Each structure stands twice: as C-alpha cells, then as structure tokens.
C-alpha cells in the first residue's frame, strides 16, 4: 500500500546479502548514518559546531520508531534520509541563485514521496518557503514581474526534480505490467488504510 522505492531498497538488500534477517537489519544502518551526517551539517551551518554535534546526538536518540526495539528495519529510515537531504539542498539554495540545488531538493523529496505518500506535504512547505524567502531581503528586485518570474523558475526547478523521480518510477511499474495495481494500492488503498482503520492499542494520541 506504499510507493515502490522502500520495497525496492529492501529487495536490493536481499539481492546483495541474501534472504536473511541480517541483510534486512544491516541495510537501515546506511541511511541512518548518512542522516546523522546531514543533520549535523544542517545544524552546524546554521548555529556552529556545538549545535551540529548536539543535533546529531539528539537524532540518534529521537529518530527511531517508538514501537521498534533498536535500529530495526523500517521505511522511516529511508524517509528520514531523503527528507533531511531535501532540506539540506534547500538550505544550500536559500541564499544562492544557482537553481541546481532546488533541482536536487526536488529529486530528494521525490525519493521520499516514493517511500511514503505523506511526504508530499513537505513539498507544499518548500513551495511556500520559496514564495516568501525574498520578503524584506535587501538588494532583491521588487518589481512584480521580476519577482514572479524568479519564483516561477524556482518552482519549475524544484518541481522538475520531483516529477523526474516519480515519473521514472511510474515508467518502471508500467513496464513491469504493474501500473494499474500500483495505482490502486498507492492512491486508493493506501489512503483508505490510513484514514478508515482504528489506531493501534496504546498508540500516541493524534495531538
């Protein structure tokens, strides 16, 4: 009931390490360690070395699913990696005119969406942030046409990354003959499962 990338990554682990528990449990260590590095870099670039070290340490303690014992296999590890990578790319693009980082941001976010559909909400936040980032910034042209032209270019670069990743996965699924089934599972069954089922016993409150 989820998009295919998470399943493909675990399939890769089985192909490399064999069909056993060790291969499945070792795979999340790679995105987990990479996400620690990205979290450290983001905090360090904003507030310095100590903030980076603190952010990395807090991520180790707070990032895993509360229902897991230890660093077990979970789709959220991939979501964390691609989501934090998209944020890191977005921050690199924030004060620069180079739109390649916005493209990389879209590529990373597209990968996150291909793990779980809910990540599309991050795209909405990025799009809003792009719309307001030049408010009050000195040296930025205030002419309405120039502002909208620049914003349109930013949105296109960002959206192109998402479209490229998601479009490629759609082509793969259709080529495999699984396009119709994937659409039913991802866009109909998955959302229904999230909204029409009762919460697990002792699950945290929605608040």
pLDDT tier, 113 (very low <50, low <70, confident <90, very high otherwise): very high
In this predicted model, what pLDDT tens digit does every residue of 8-41 receive, in sequence order? 999 999 999 999 988 888 888 899 899 999 999 9
More confident call, 167 vs 146: 167
Residue 141 predicted with pLDDT over 60 = no
Q: What is the pTM of this model?
A: 0.85
Segment 64-80 mean pLDDT:
70
Determine contact, residues 126/83, Cβ cutoff 8 Å: no
Calculate ∠ Cα 161-91-132, nearest 5°.
Answer: 85
**Beta-carbon contacts of residue 106 (< 8 Å; ≥ 6 apart):** 86, 157, 158, 159, 160, 161, 162, 163, 164, 165
Report which of 134, 129, 89, 133 is spatially closest to residue 111, judged by C-alpha positions. Answer: 89
In this predicted model, what pLDDT tens digit does every residue of 174-201 receive, in sequence order? 999 999 999 998 888 888 877 777 877 8
Report which of 198, 196, 179 is spatially closest to residue 3, judged by C-alpha positions. Answer: 179
pLDDT of residue 54: 96
Percent of the chain with pLDDT over 90: 59
Helices and strands in the chain, H and E counts: 10, 0
Backbone torsions φ then ψ of 69, nearest 5 degrees: -105, 105
**Beta-carbon contacts of residue 164 (< 8 Å; ≥ 6 apart):** 106, 107, 110
Report the C-alpha gap between 81 and 37 in whole angstroms.
10
Average model confidence (pLDDT) for the chain? 87
Report the C-alpha gap between 168 and 175 in whole angstroms.
11
């Amino acid at each position: 009931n989820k998009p295919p990338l998470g399943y493909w990554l675990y399939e890769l682990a089985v192909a490399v390490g064999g069909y056993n528990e060790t291969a499945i449990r070792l795979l999340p260590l790679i995105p987990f360690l990479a996400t620690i590095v990205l979290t450290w870099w983001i905090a360090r670039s904003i507030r310095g070395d100590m903030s980076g070290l603190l952010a990395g340490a807090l991520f180790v303690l707070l990032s895993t699913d509360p229902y897991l014992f230890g660093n077990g296999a979970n789709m959220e590890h991939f979501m964390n990696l691609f989501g934090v990578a998209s944020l890191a790319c977005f921050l690199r693009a924030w004060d620069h005119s180079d739109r390649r980082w916005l493209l990389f941001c879209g590529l990373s976010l597209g990968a996150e969406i291909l793990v779980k559909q809910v990540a599309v909400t991050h795209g909405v936040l990025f799009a809003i942030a792009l719309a307001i980032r030049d408010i009050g910034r000195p040296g930025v042209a205030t002419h309405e046409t120039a502002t909208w032209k620049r914003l349109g270019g930013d949105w296109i670069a960002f959206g192109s990354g998402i479209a490229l990743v998601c479009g490629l996965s759609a082509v793969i699924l259709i080529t495999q003959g699984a396009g119709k089934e994937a659409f039913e599972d991802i866009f109909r069954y998955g959302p229904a499962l999230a909204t029409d089922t009762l919460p697990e016993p002792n699950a945290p409150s929605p608040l």
